[in-house]
Chains A and B, each alone.
Chain A
C-alpha cells in the first residue's frame, strides 16, 4: 500500500520533470497526462476516489480535449499532417507509454487486492457534496465568482476584433 503510493508519486515526479524539461509541446502534453493520471492513483490510494475520478475526468480529459481542439483550429493543411506523422514516431510516445503502463499495472494490482485495497475509510462523493454545500458554501460561491470573472476576462481579451488595429 505504501509502496504503491510511492510508486505513483515517483511516476508523477518523473513525468512532471519530463514536462518541464521537454522542448516539444506534444511531448510535454503526453507526460503531463501521465503525471495527472499518477496523481489520480495517489489520490485513490489516500482514500479519495472521488478526487481521483475528478482528476482523470477534468484534468487529464479536458486538457487532452482542449489540446486537440487547438491543434484542429490552428494547424490545418498538409503541414499539420506531416507534423502529426512525426509525432507518431516511437521515440516520442515510448516514454509516456512505459510510465502509463506501469500505472496500469499498479491500478490492476490495487483493484485485484494484491497488497490490500486502501484500508482507510474512503471519502465518498456524497460526503464531498455535503461539505461543499454545508460549511464550505461561501467557498463555492467564491469559486463561482472566480469562474465568472475568468469568463468575462477571457471573453474581453480573446474577442475577435477585425475593426480595430492590430497594434498601436
Chain B
C-alpha cells in the first residue's frame, strides 16, 4: 500500500492529476480562457517544482506499478516543460478561435499525465493505461477545431490507428505474460536473458510477443513501416497539438522503450535488435527522402520527425549507459527544436480567422524575414538545429547519437545517420532560403492584433535561446543527464527488486 513517502515521490504526477481536475471544475464554474490556461500553467509549474523532492526519494518502486528513478523523473520534467510551452503557445493560438477553448487545457493536462505515467511505468498495466490516457486525450486535441473538416479527419485517422496499435500492444503483452507469468518489466527480464532463443518450445511466444509490442510502439513512434498516418495527422491537427503530438507522445514512448530494453535485457534477443535496426534504417531513409518532396511545412516536419526517430533508435539499439544518455540528450534537443518549429506555425496561424486553415504552405513563408524578422529568425534557428548545424543543440544531440553508435560498433546505423543528416540539409535549408526570399508573399495577418501574442513570443524566444545556449555550452544539460543515469541508481533499483513482489491473483492457465 501507499505510504507518506510514496505520496511525496508521486507528488509531480499528483500535481498533474489535481491540475486536470481543478481546471475542469473551474471551467464548470466560469468559462474564461485566461483562467483555464493559467490554471494549467500553474499546475505544470507545480509538477516541476515537486520534481526535486521526488528525486531525493528516488529510486523508488511504488506498488510494483511505477518505478520512480531519476531518469524517469528527468523525462517527466522534460514532458512537463514541453506541455508548459504548448500551453502558452496554445493560449495565443486559441485566443481568436471561435469555439470553446477551455477544454483544450484539460485535455492537455490529461495527456501530460498519461505521458508521465508511461515514462515512469514499470508494469504493463500502468504503461497501457498511461498510453491510452495519452492517446485518447491526443485524439481530442487533434480534432479540437471539430467544426472544420481537416482536423476532424486527422483526429479520426489518429483514433483508428491508435486503436490498432493498442490492439497490437495488448496482443503482444498477452503473449509475453503467457510465457513469463509476469506483467512487471523486471519480472520477465530474467526469463528473456537466461533462455537461449529456440531452446524451449515457448520461445517463439516471447519472440512473437515482443515483435507485436515493437510494432505497436512503432505506430506511436511513426517508424517506417508504420508511419503512414503521421503526415496527414500533423497536417490536419492544430499547430500546438501537432507540436505536442510530435514531441511529448513520441518522446514518452521512446523513453519507455529505453527503460523496457534495459529492464528486460532486450539486447540479448538478436531478432529484436535486427527488427529495430531495420526500422531505424528504413525510417531514416524514407523520412528524409519523402521530406524532400513536400511543399507543406507541417508535412515536411512530419517526415523529418520520422527520420529523427530513426536517428534516436541508433542510440536505443546501441544501448548501455552511453546509449541511454544519448537518447535523453537527443530527446531534449528534439523537444526544443520541434516545439519551436510548430510554435512558429502556430504563431503565424493564430491571426487567421477560424476556417481559413493554418499557415502551413511553404508559400506562406516566402520572404517572411522582411516583415516578421523575429519569427523568421526563430524558425531559422530551429531549422538549422533540426539539420544538425554546429553551434545548435541539434548538432550536439546528433554527435551524442553518433558517439553511442560508434561505441557499440553499429557501423551500418552510423552510416545511415550520417547519410540521412546530409540529405536532411537540403530540405531544411530550402525552407530557410524561402524565408529570406526577396519577393514577400502577401503579408500574413499573423500574430499582431492578438492580445495573447506575448505568451507565444515569450515561449518561442526562450526555446530559441535554449537551442543556441545548449549548443554553445552543453555542459549543464550533459551533467544533469549523466547524473540521472549514474550506475549507482541501477544497483539501487536491483536492490529494490529483491523485495518480495506484491500480492497478485494468478490468472494463468
Contacts and interface: CB of A to CB of B under 8 A. Distances in A.
Are A and B genuine complex partners? yes
Interface of A: 46-48, 123, 127-128, 131, 134-139, 141-143, 145-146, 148-150, 152-157, 159, 161, 164-168
Q: Which 9 A-B pairs have the closest CB atoms?
A: A168-B355, A153-B140, A149-B110, A142-B129, A135-B502, A156-B103, A149-B137, A157-B146, A146-B133
A167 to B, nearest CB: 5
Contacts of A127: 505
Given A127-B505, A149-B133, A136 B17 contact: no
Given A46-B507, A165-B147, A166-B147, A137 B2 contact: yes
Nearest to A164: B147
Given A131-B505, A153-B107, 8 more contacts: A135-B63, A135-B64, A137-B2, A142-B117, A142-B133, A145-B113, A146-B132, A161-B147
B100 A156 contact: yes
Contacts of B152: 157
A103 to B, nearest CB: 20
Nearest to A166: B147
A166 B355 CA distance: 10
Nearest to B137: A149
Given A141-B17, A155-B103, A164 B507 contact: no
Contact of B63 (A136, A146, A156, A161): A136
Nearest to A135: B502
Contacts of A149: 106-107, 110-111, 114, 133, 136-137, 140
A48 B508 CA distance: 10
A156 B146 contact: yes
B149 A156 contact: no
Given A161-B99, A168-B354, A138 B126 contact: yes
A152 B146 CA distance: 13
18 contacts: A48-B507, A127-B505, A134-B1, A134-B503, A135-B65, A135-B502, A138-B126, A139-B129, A148-B110, A149-B114, A149-B136, A152-B106, A153-B137, A157-B140, A164-B147, A166-B147, A168-B147, A168-B355
B509 interface: yes
A146 B131 CA distance: 10
Contacts of B137: 149, 153
B144 A164 contact: no
B479 interface: no
B130 interface: yes
B503 A168 contact: no
A153 B136 contact: yes
A131 B44 CA distance: 31
A92 B103 CA distance: 44
Interface string B133-161: 10011011001101111001001000000
B80 interface: no
B110 A152 contact: yes
B470 interface: no
B129 A156 contact: no
A131 B125 CA distance: 13
Nearest to B133: A146
Contacts of A156: 100, 103, 107, 140, 144, 146
B315 to A, nearest CB: 29
A40 to B, nearest CB: 15
A59 B301 CA distance: 40
A138 B140 contact: no
A46 B98 CA distance: 54
B504 A135 contact: yes
B129 A150 contact: no
Interface string B81-112: 00000000000000000111001001100110
Contacts of B125: 136, 139
Contact of B504 (A47, A131, A148, A168): A131
Given A128-B505, A136-B125, A139-B126, A145 B147 contact: no
B62 interface: yes
A139 B122 CA distance: 12
Contact of B99 (A134, A137, A146, A164): A164
Contacts of A48: 507
Contacts of B148: 167-168
Contacts of B284: none
A153 B114 CA distance: 15
A157 to B, nearest CB: 5
Contacts of A152: 24, 103, 106-107, 110, 140
Contacts of A148: 20-21, 24, 110
A143 B125 CA distance: 10
Nearest to A149: B110
B182 to A, nearest CB: 13
B65 A150 contact: no
B178 to A, nearest CB: 12
Given A149-B111, A153-B140, A157-B146, A137 B63 contact: yes
A104 B20 CA distance: 46
A53 B133 CA distance: 26
A115 B132 CA distance: 41
Contacts of A46: 507, 509
A1 to B, nearest CB: 11
Nearest to A5: B509
A137 B125 CA distance: 11
B356 interface: yes
Nearest to B139: A153
A165 B353 CA distance: 13
Contacts of B503: 131, 134-135
A154 B10 CA distance: 29
B99 A142 contact: no
A146 B129 contact: yes
Contacts of B114: 142, 145-146, 149
Given A148-B110, A150-B136, A138 B144 contact: no
